[in-house]
Amino acid sequence: MSKIIPFKAVRPTSDKVSLVTCRNYDDYSSAELAAWLSFNPYSFLHVIHPAYMHSQKITLDKRFKGVAHKYQDFKEDGIFMEEDKSVFFLYEIKTKTQSFTGIVAGTSIDDYKNNVIKKHEDTLQYRVEYFKDYLHQTGFNTEPVLITYPDNETLSDWIFKKKKSQPIYNFSTTNKEKHQLWKIETDEEIAWLAKQFEEIPELYIADGHHRSASAEMLYDEDSHLGNENLNYFMSFLIAESQVKIYEFNRIIRDLNGYSKEDFLEKLSEHFIIKDKEQELWKPQSKFEFGMYLDGSFYALFYKINDNFKNQNSILTNLDAQILYDKVLQPLLGIEDLRNDERIEYIPGKQSIATIKELVDEGEFEVGFMLYPSDISEIKALADNNLIMPPKSTYIEPKFRSGLMVYEL
């Protein structure tokens, strides 16, 4: 049984929403940040990172207080408004090739603690503590956790009908996405929607493991203060079939002392290797890997014996784990996938020509392309309390910062 609640959202006024909302802060280059902050006084980037040009010279405590003050300025200036009552929202994102629709709601810390909301990624303690301190100091969150639920015909029909009504937001962004938002505010609709989720036994985190862990840590530290909002965290709930999962590809700075010939020979112990020369080849199915080395693309087909799938666990059957177990760790000497400076990651939605360019420029020696995981693998790992290797998945949709604020 899953529990969701409506909440009193703070959000931009309709006339300014397209100016306020922004991509995740880390998605912007320095030049883009400077441009947006210089020419758009309404951008939520002003809130996320006040005093941008001097941010490296101030303490975290001062930075977080600056965020809180700038957020209050936006409210006082009438850029943000607060709902009169607690509501749910229906939110749609349309790109050139994809359409995502989900429900924005509060999800339960108790469900998270009791594994009703399941996880598949590990977290870094320092990042969890960093974001917990951010929440504590600023008093708000604008980045919901992306959570999936099993496809449900009743909910799908309701969403289809709801989207025929007039949205409260209908705007486009400079990255050519269209965004629409509907408010679910009648007592009947709120009760009905909450009831639908009560009948769903389990939910799965797709993206936002650090955010949910930070919300739990803040609850553990401050729940004695009696703030009911700490019992929940904002989530974007979306049907499993709506989620788009990309791989993270890997680029490595050196061959750990191997010559090209010796490295290929070592790889042949576990892979059938086909030289694709200049063909921009990428894996077509599970247990296939692409490689770019010394000006050529290679197809690597993992050698699977008859009993491999049955004798190995869900985790060891995962392509990202196979690459680590057979190549990255034993051959290239990469132990720590999160912190080793010899490895970097490229989201699978970027062209593999990007990998070719980075290797050809000489800073990296070899690149590996993976086949993306699917939702069934993610769920199987979560159901068995297993953790994916770092940077295994890049998941969409991505929520716009500043579109919705959950105050603590």
In a domain, 35, yes or no: yes
Give the model's confidence band at 141: pLDDT under 50 very low, under 70 low, under 90 confident, else very high: very high
307 and 221, same structural domain?
Answer: no
**pLDDT for position 293:** 97
Q: What is the pLDDT averaged over residues 235-255?
A: 96
313 and 236, same structural domain?
Answer: no
In a domain, 382, yes or no: no
207 and 90, same structural domain?
Answer: yes
In a domain, 119, yes or no: yes
In a domain, 327, yes or no: yes
Q: Is 401 exposed, middle or buried (0-12, 13-18, 19+ CB in 10 A)?
A: buried
220 and 99, same structural domain?
Answer: yes
Show the tokens assigned to 248.
């993270």
Q: Decide: 296 and 305 in contact? Cβ < 8 Å.
A: no
- The residues pairing with 292 across neighbouring beta strands, listed in sequence order, are 297, 367
Q: Is 339 exposed, middle or buried (0-12, 13-18, 19+ CB in 10 A)?
A: exposed
Rounded CA-CA distance 343/390 in Å is: 12
332 and 275, same structural domain?
Answer: yes
Q: Decide: 358 and 283 in contact? Cβ < 8 Å.
A: no
CA torsion, ordered 135, 401, 244, 282, to nearest 10 deg: -100
Q: Decide: 211 and 143 in contact? Cβ < 8 Å.
A: yes
Q: What is the pLDDT averaged over residues 362-373?
A: 96
| 215-233 pLDDT per residue, tens | 999 999 998 888 999 999 9
Q: Decide: 251 and 359 in contact? Cβ < 8 Å.
A: yes
251 and 223, same structural domain?
Answer: no
| 191-209 pLDDT per residue, tens | 999 999 999 999 999 999 9
CATH assignment at residue 213: 3.90.1530.10
- Average pLDDT across the chain, whole number: 93
The total number of residues shown for the chain amounts to 408
Q: Decide: 394 and 121 in contact? Cβ < 8 Å.
A: no
Q: What is the pLDDT averaged over residues 96-116?
A: 96
| Number of domains the chain is built from | 2
**pLDDT for position 312:** 57
**pLDDT for position 331:** 97
263 and 190, same structural domain?
Answer: no
Question: Which residue in this structure is represented by tokens 């360019």?
Answer: 357
162 and 304, same structural domain?
Answer: no
E strand or H helix that includes residue 272 = strand 271-277
11 and 128, same structural domain?
Answer: yes
Q: What is the pLDDT averaged over residues 260-277?
A: 96
Cβ-count burial 230-255 (b if 16+ within 10 Å, e if not): bebbbbbbbbbebbebbbbbbbbbeb
Domain range enclosing 260:
245-372
224 and 160, same structural domain?
Answer: yes
| 1-55 pLDDT per residue, tens | 899 999 999 999 999 999 999 988 878 888 888 888 889 999 999 998 876 545 5
In a domain, 296, yes or no: yes
Give which of 125, 323, 108, 329 is closest to 230, Cα–Cα: 108
In a domain, 183, yes or no: yes
In a domain, 389, yes or no: no
Q: Decide: 43 and 400 in contact? Cβ < 8 Å.
A: no
Rounded CA-CA distance 351/330 in Å is: 28
**pLDDT for position 307:** 52
| 269-320 pLDDT per residue, tens | 999 999 999 999 999 999 999 999 999 999 999 998 655 555 557 888 899 9
Q: What angle do CA 211, 116, 373 make, to 5 degrees?
A: 70
**pLDDT for position 225:** 84
193: left (phi over 0), alpha (psi -120 to 50) or beta: alpha
**pLDDT for position 311:** 53
368 and 296, same structural domain?
Answer: yes
Q: Which residue has the higher pLDDT, 361 or 59?
A: 361
325 and 228, same structural domain?
Answer: no
**pLDDT for position 226:** 85
Residue 46 Cα distances to 39, 72, 328, angstroms: 11, 12, 40
In a domain, 314, yes or no: yes
**pLDDT for position 55:** 54
Q: What is the pLDDT averaged over residues 174-188?
A: 96
Give the model's confidence band at 339: pLDDT under 50 very low, under 70 low, under 90 confident, else very high: confident
- The residues pairing with 90 across neighbouring beta strands, listed in sequence order, are 103, 182
CATH assignment at residue 256: 3.30.1760
Amino acid at 304: I
